[in-house]
Amino acid sequence: MNSDRRMRLEALEEALGYRFNDPSLLDCALTHRSYANENPDLLKQDNERLEFLGDAVLTLCISDMLMKKFPDCTEGDLSKIRSSIVNEKPLARLAKELHLGDYLLLGRGEDISGGRLKHSLLANAFEAIIAAIYCDTGFDGVCAFVGRRFLRLLDTGDIKVLYQDYKTSLQEITQNRFRIIPRYSVLREFGPDHDKVFQIRVSVGDIVSTAGLGRNKKEAEQRAAKKALEAIESLRLPDNGEDVQE
């Protein structure tokens, strides 16, 4: 690693809040296989092995955090929360906050095609960095890093939207009360291909119609269903449970 590269990585270490004992681990975590393949004379190892390890380390760290933060949650709920966090979009979002794309070593073709903005590459690099920290300092150190980076995600009210199954709840309620099922439709989608936002409407006959935004269709549907449930709860329902007439 030359001095210019080392200086750049020191700036990233500052943003990460972690100083590596072995900076070459961080350099490897940011090396895409396209760069390693195009520069065989540099004998650089790509980040795929670190990514593999980082996925497992992150899963264990997040599982430990969830067990402590949500002591009353069932195993099923904990699994849903974890899967909503340990996936490409949240990881890519955290990577963007750190401007990881600026530090990636990419092959020429990958760079020209916008690799520095690709969610998959950013998420993979973030997982590789987690593995690099684990290799550099051990489990307690990497858990502290993961805690600092992910606690904000867990503390937001949005986390419930990501794991709670509002769609199923809405369907059960509308079938029981109104004898109809919700209908979902895409109102619009906007943003670049690598960072799409969807707006989806859910309608329950002529009774309720709400819309939700999300980074994917599933998330937007869940948000729309949550709003529909809240709207239905505000309706004055007959005590005998008969259909509501507007």
Give the model confidence (pLDDT) of 69-78 as tens digits.
888 778 887 8
pTM for this entry: 0.68
Catalytic residue among 51, 110, 127, 221: 127
Is 230 among the catalytic positions? no
Q: What is the mean pLDDT of the chain?
A: 88
CA distance 217 to 215: 7
Is 55 among the catalytic positions? yes
Residue 154: burial class (beta carbons within 10 Å; 0-12, 13-18, 19+): middle
211: Cβ contacts below 8 Å, ≥ 6 apart = 187, 199, 200, 201, 202, 224, 227
SS3 call for 212 = strand
CA distance 53 to 139: 12
Catalytic residue among 51, 55, 219, 221: 55
CATH for 165-234 is: 3.30.160.20
Give the model confidence (pLDDT) of 111-134 as tens digits.
999 999 999 999 999 999 999 999
For the chain, domain boundaries: 3-158, 165-234
CA distance 85 to 62: 8
Q: What's domain 3-158's superfamily in CATH?
A: Ribonuclease III domain (1.10.1520.10)
